[in-house]
Amino acid sequence: MNIVTRFAPSPTGCFHIGSARTALYAWLFARSNNGKFILRIEDTDSKRYKEGSTLGILRDLKWLGLNWDEGPYFQSAKFEYYKDIIQSMLKSGLAYKCYCTEVRLDLLRKKQLSSGEKPKYDRKCRIFLKDYKSDSRYVVRFCNPINGTVSFFDEIRGKISFKNEELDDVIIQRTNGLPTYNFCAAVDDRDMKITHVIRGEDHINNTPRQINLLEALGSKIPIYAHVSMILKKNGEKLSKRKKVIGISDYRLQGYLPESLLNYIVRLGWSNGNQEIFSIDDMIKLFTLKGINKSPSRFDINKLLWLNRFYIKSLPHNRIIEHLKYQFKKKSVNYLNGLNLSELIQLVGTRYSTLQDMVNFSHYFYKDHIIYNIDSAKKYLVKSSVVFLKSIYSRILSLETWTVEEILIAIRSLVSESNVDSNEVFMPIRVAITGDIISPSIHIVIYGIGKSRFLLRIESALSYISSS
């Protein structure tokens, strides 16, 4: 069998962790079986469409490295094609026009609920066919089989069955003439020869409807795998209809795609106790049988741990690519100072995100800094002058510019001052970074550079004298 999977998002919100996991699993299954991965944008619901969602999906997939073999295909570009199929189904008796008003359908639903019945359309227009005026509003419904059972074997959950009598005659064309999700999905799965549909368990109820549509269209039925939900820490379901963090937000916050993919793949899939997976590992080891049917819980601390691991472990040139993005976002010229590879070497082990790394090293690349007012009032005072002047002269006299030489100079100053080290370090730290939090002071001095360091000490002394 030539494996063909698809990722078919609707552009109705941000591309979040749940969507990314579905895409990753479908992508991995295709790659691990030398198959094809198709990207399809299911944009038939114009009411729920959100501006920019499609571009966001494409951008985030590319950033994660989930390249597609075909697409993106847009369902909105195929409306006439879908309508032609629907007309053919009407002529062959596979579908019918339903003229029932919303008022009637609402009353029917309330009556069924009050009597304890499962609400569904009663097939009035299918049973009692009659002529209507040509301008009467109608939807088109699929003639779902009335008897028998529709069953499928879910690769994660085993055999699942639905009685046809419990299924609606699903609407395949709205009153505005536009085709619906279930119909378009079935047609496209047929046309694209999809062999495996990997998606969230919230689609399980759609599956029997799509199977019946596929059989009516003379198509081979794909193999289905419905993955469980991802829950928030409080047990609430992740949903793009609620406020959730999108993949683009994780990028903004300084997460690496490698750490996100490693974290996402483990949200429901495992290979023994292994925690760290490269992309090659995932492709080699991934199987649908390895997916757990229990819900997964999102743990930001685990993601932070993985991100820190990859910052420490990845080649510098891979991290630099993403560091540049962080510096540009903060409007800092990363060419105006320490080499980025050296920056990673100096402070890369300290931080869990690249955003934090930039936030606590941006002063390496600026000619001028702004003091935190509270920090300056507390530490840039007259009693600090002696320490600032002493470190100035010691750094000025250094002939070799190394972290080790700077550390020796600082330690000798603290030793000779006969005071707590913070009384020495804090005024220097504020003078050269503008605030009280930074990496170790000798690393900061090295990263800033000799001439920039001397200028900042001079500025701090001037600030004190004018205060």
* Binding-site annotation, residues for ATP: 240
The whole-angstrom separation of Cα 316 and Cα 208 is 50
Is residue 86 a contact partner of residue 95, using CB atoms and an 8 Å limit?
A: yes
- Cβ-based neighbour number of residue 243 at 10 Å: 7
Half-sphere CA count of 208, side-chain side, radius 13 A: 19
Is residue 34 a contact partner of residue 225, using CB atoms and an 8 Å limit?
A: no
The whole-angstrom separation of Cα 410 and Cα 377 is 23
Binding residue positions for Zn(2+): 98, 100, 125, 131
Buried b / exposed e across 257-280, counting CB within 10 Å, b at 16+? Answer: bbbbbbbbbbbbbebeeeeebebe
β partners of residue 200 = 227
β partners of residue 74 = 41
Q: Are strands 36-41 and 70-74 parallel, antiparallel or unpaired?
A: parallel
Tell me the residue type at 46: S
Binding residue positions: 98, 100, 125, 131, 240
